[in-house]
Amino acid sequence: MQLLRRHLIGGAVALGAAISSGQVQSASPTLPIVPTRFGKVRGRTERNIHVFKGIRYGADTASYRFQPPRPPQPWTGVRDAFDYGPACPQRSAKGAVSEDCLFLNIWTPALNDGAKRPVLVYLHGGAHASGDGSSPLYDGVNLATRGDVVVITLNHRLNVFGYGYFARLGAAVGDDNFDYSGNVGHLDIIQALTWVRDNIAEFGGDPSNVTLFGQSGGGGKIVGLMAMRAADGLYRQCLTMSGQHVTASAPLNATRRAEAYLKTLNLTPDQVSQLKTLPVDALVKALDTPDPIVARDKVLFAATLDFKTLYRHPFYPDAPEETAQVPLIIGNTRHETAAFMRDAMIANDTTWETLPERLGKEMLVDMSPEYVIAHYRQWYPHMTPTEVLRAAATAGRSWRPHLIQAEARGAKLTPTWMYQLDFASPLHGGRLGAYHGYDIGLIFDNIYVPEANVGTTPEQIAAAQNVADILSTLLIQFARTGDPQNVLIPDWPHYELTQRATLIVDQTPRIDNDPRAQERRLFATVPYIKPGT
Q: How far apart are CA 429 and CA 421, in angstroms?
A: 18
**pLDDT tens column, 265-294:** 999 998 899 999 999 999 999 999 998 988
Q: How far apart are CA 282 and CA 437, in angstroms?
A: 31
End position of a domain, from candidates 191, 206, 241? 241
Can 128 be counted among the known catalytic residues?
no
Residue from 93, 183, 96, 185 nearest 131 by CA: 93
What's the pLDDT at 226? Answer: 95
Residues 342 and 488 in one domain: yes
Residues 212 and 334 in one domain: no
Residue 12 lies in a domain: no
What's the pLDDT at 171? Answer: 67
Instruction: Please name the residues in contact with 243: beta carbons below 8 A apart, sequence gap of 6 or more.
Output: 214, 215, 216, 217, 218, 219, 220, 221, 222, 223, 330
Give the CATH number, domain containing residue 133: 3.40.50.1820
Instruction: Please name the residues in contact with 30: beta carbons below 8 A apart, sequence gap of 6 or more.
Output: none
Residue 528 lies in a domain: no
Phi, psi dihedrals of residue 246, rounded to the nearest 5°: -115, -45
Which of 130, 134, 181, 216 is an active site residue? 216
Whole-number average pLDDT of the chain: 91
Instruction: Fill in the DSSP letter of residue 397.
Output: I
Q: How far apart are CA 204 and CA 286, in angstroms?
A: 43
> Domain range for residue 224?
33-241
Instruction: Please name the residues in contact with 164: beta carbons below 8 A apart, sequence gap of 6 or more.
Output: 66, 181, 182, 257, 258, 261, 275, 301
Residue 161: exposure state from Cβ atoms within 10 A (0-12, 13-18, ≥19): buried
| Other CB atoms within 10 Å distance of the CB of residue 147 | 27
Residue 257 lies in a domain: no
Which of 259, 336, 362, 407 is an active site residue? 336
Residue from 88, 97, 96, 99 nearest 61 by CA: 99
Residue 310 lies in a domain: no
Residues 379 and 473 in one domain: yes
Instruction: Please name the residues in contact with 474: beta carbons below 8 A apart, sequence gap of 6 or more.
Output: 329, 419, 484, 486, 488, 489, 503
Residue 9 lies in a domain: no
Q: Give the chain's domain count.
A: 2
What's the N-to-C CA distance of the chain in angstroms? 50
Which of 387, 436, 472, 519 is an active site residue? 436
**276 has which bridge partners?**
none
End position of a domain, from candidates 241, 268, 293? 241
End position of a domain, from candidates 189, 224, 241? 241
Can 336 be counted among the known catalytic residues?
yes
Q: How far apart are CA 235 and CA 242, in angstroms?
A: 20
Length of the chain: 533
DSSP assignments along 488-527, one per residue: TS---PPP-TTT-EEEEESSS-EEEESTTHHHHHHHTTS-
**pLDDT tens column, 143-171:** 999 999 999 999 999 999 999 999 998 76
Residues 102 and 229 in one domain: yes
Low-confidence ranges of the chain (pLDDT < 70): 1-29, 171-172, 174, 532
What's the pLDDT at 529? Answer: 77
Residues 334 and 232 in one domain: no
**106 has which bridge partners?**
52, 152
Instruction: Please name the residues in contact with 381: beta carbons below 8 A apart, sequence gap of 6 or more.
Output: none
Can 436 be counted among the known catalytic residues?
yes
Residue 203 lies in a domain: yes
Residues 372 and 477 in one domain: yes
What's the pLDDT at 2? Answer: 33
Q: How far apart are CA 44 and CA 55, in angstroms?
A: 13
Query: 132 near 227, Cβ under 8 Å?
Result: no
